[in-house]
Structure 1
Amino acid sequence: MGFPNASDRPSQTPTDVVQAAQGQNEAATPSAQSRTMGVYLAKVQSDLLLNDLLRTDNGSVDTPFTSHQLASNFDAIALNDEYTTIDGRFVARTTPSPLSRWDVPVRIGLEFGASVPFEQRDKDVATVKALIKRLAKAARHPISMSDKPNFHVLVLNEDERQAIGPRLEQIVPGIGQAAIDTVEDMPRSNYCVVFAFDPADNGAYRQAVAIIRGEHPDLMRKSCLHEEITQGLGLANDTPRARPSIFNDDEEFALLTHHDELLLRILYDPRLQTGMSPEIARPISAQIARELMGESS
């Protein structure tokens, strides 16, 4: 599917495009473009399920892992970035990164495109509330829902996503055209995306924005919420080695696993510090992994 040129996008104000979870009487009617995307994504989910993917279990029976594998996965996922900027555009290229995480409370807010159905909004709010409890317990870091968020989660249908630039600039002044273009021109093979912002360039996140396609069927939308919110906490990369994990692009697991909760526990352990280089963080995280897995040093 091609993307419209900027001049072809509907002229809408930020409040027309995205509305908060409360305060509306009824949802707008999705466009034909959005309905077409919904049909495509329903087929994607069906095909994944037919291939025994999008698992909703923890994988504890058939995907055991050792402390060495946990530490190796932490290295790949938390100490590398998935994207880099080349010629003003984000390009998928794994690059080593200092340890990054939040050192202030994370306040998550949900916003919905005007055409996202109310019933769907209720499901997404429930999903995020349940996820936040797991994430806060795993990370041992304050994470909550808030009407004054520093972590914005936008659930958008096609027309809303393609016109979301002004709203993104409201949320994160100076967000940059590369990030806006990545969202507005997102190919249909990209199901969701998150950006976390480190204004002091010291590994300390202060804001994040996640974009979730509103046309996703329930399980894929829930999967996107799990992955992007968790990635926005500092687990920024994916690796094909990670199992059982949502940080693996093969879509085997749809929802946060115990393995992923352990990655968060490592990331937010006080022995690690924001801005640590991979070389310094690596032996510390390996020791924490051994402790979590009940193995001796």
Structure 2
Amino acid sequence: MGVALASLIAVAACMETAPRPDASRERPIAPPPGVAQNAPSEASQSLAGFYARVQRELLSQGLLRTDGGGPDTPFDADMALRNFERIAFYDEYARGGGLRAAANAPGALRRWEGPVRFAVEFGGTVLPSRQTSDRQMVAGYVQRLARLTGHPLGMAPAAGANFHVLMVGEDDRSQMLNRVKSLVPNIDRASLGLLQAMPRGIHCLVMAFAEGPSDHTYTRAIAVIRAEHPDLLRLSCVHEELAQGLGLANDSPAARPSIFNDDDEFALLTTQDELFLRILYDDRLAPGMTLSQARPIIYDIAATALGGPS
């Protein structure tokens, strides 16, 4: 079996291959119906206040744009090619090295080949009203991703999912860790350590795993999104982490307009990001392709989409 790959907030780390978890072991992380939910702890309330301030500050600076880009953010086929290369072929952090920077060298193309079945699971502190709206929000975004990629993406019950979106508060940490370990029993220490002690600067993260014969074909993913986020930051996390979990794992400071850029200018998927997803799942590309093999195909797709020479 291949080495399982993981991506944590634009982090890609090497994981020990784990057998596919038995469906009977999979359980939603939310408590059973009727179980009372405790008031958020001081730590959770502090995080909620912090993220509310972060969102207000970013909005006051004209950041967290939701327009997808416009006349002020033009890009052409050459720019899209360079940006896609950095985002799809490079890693921000060394595999298996936690937050240690990766070597500045391209890897191979990574994406899903089989159907991607999403499930949203909630920690016990997430209110039922929030669960309903967030589940609808994720389902709507998954439909958009399916249209863009042309790949079979859809929602599923937790037991039948292979892409798990965990919406959890600080007080749900132990629940979340148990759930992740049930899904990936052999998860490595570096990845588990990030989950155990997520600094508040990490708003959300995604891990994508390759559990089959190919190291470059994803078969399972887990996104962790903080329930303490205000609405726009939470939506932004969903947009970025689900797209990263499909194979756009890195960030690039040159990518504009794009959510795959640490400057927070854009909160939601942009027109260029949509092009990246179309490129990534184009039938002419395949998992394991090197950059030199893929480059002429990528340029041809971008040039055709943008009306330039091919």
Give yes or no for TM over 0.5.
yes
Aligned mate of 1:89, from 98, 104, 107: 98
**Comparing 122-131 with 202-211, which one deviates more in the overlay?**
122-131
CA gap 1:165/1:95 in 2 versus in 1, 3 angstroms? farther
Could you tell me which amino acid in structure 1 is paired with residue 70 of structure 2? S
Equivalent position of 1:223 in the other structure: 236
Q: Which structure dedicates a bigger proportion of its chain to strand?
A: 1
Task: Render the CA deviation track for 1:138-175: whole Å, top value 9, x for unaligned.
Answer: 10001101001100010111122255322111112212
Question: Is residue 170 of structure 1 aligned with residue 179 of structure 2?
Answer: no
For 2:21, the equivalent position in structure 1 comes to none
1:100 partnered with 2:83: no
Q: CA deviation at 1:118?
A: 1.9
Shift of 1:202: 3.1
The runs of at least 4 consecutive aligned structure 1 residues that moved more than 6 Å come to 14-17
Hey, what does 1:190 align to over in structure 2? 202
Aligned residue identity for 2:30: Q
Alignment partner of 1:57 out of 57, 60, 67:
67
Q: 1:207 to 1:24 in 2, by over 3 A?
A: farther
Structure 2 equivalent of residue 159 of structure 1: 171
Q: Cα offset for 1:83?
A: 2.2
Matches within 5 A, 1:239-278: 239-278=252-291
* C-alpha displacement of 1:84: 1.4
- Matched with 1:18 is 29
Of 67, 72, 79, the match for 1:69: 79
Taking the aligned partners of 2:277 and 2:27, their CA distance within structure 1 comes to 36
TM-score, normalised by the number of residues in structure 2: 0.86
Q: Distance in 2 between matches of 1:95 and 1:219?
A: 34
Gaps of 5+ in 1: 1-13
1:206 CA drift (Å): 0.1
Match 1:180 to one of 169, 172, 192: 192
Q: Deviations over 1:190-239 (max 9, x none)?
A: 10000100123431100000010110000000000110001000000000
Could you tell me whether the CA contact under 8 Å between 2:258 and 2:269 is conserved in 1?
yes
Contact 1:90 1:182 in 2 (8 A): no
The question of whether the paired residues in 1 share the 8 Å contact of 2:65 and 2:266 is answered with: yes
Matched position secondary structure for 2:95: strand
Q: Counterparts of 1:170 and 1:203 in 2: how far apart (Å)?
A: 23
> In 2, are the aligned partners of 1:82 and 1:95 still within 8 Å (CA)?
no
The gaps in structure 2 that reach 5 residues or longer are 1-24
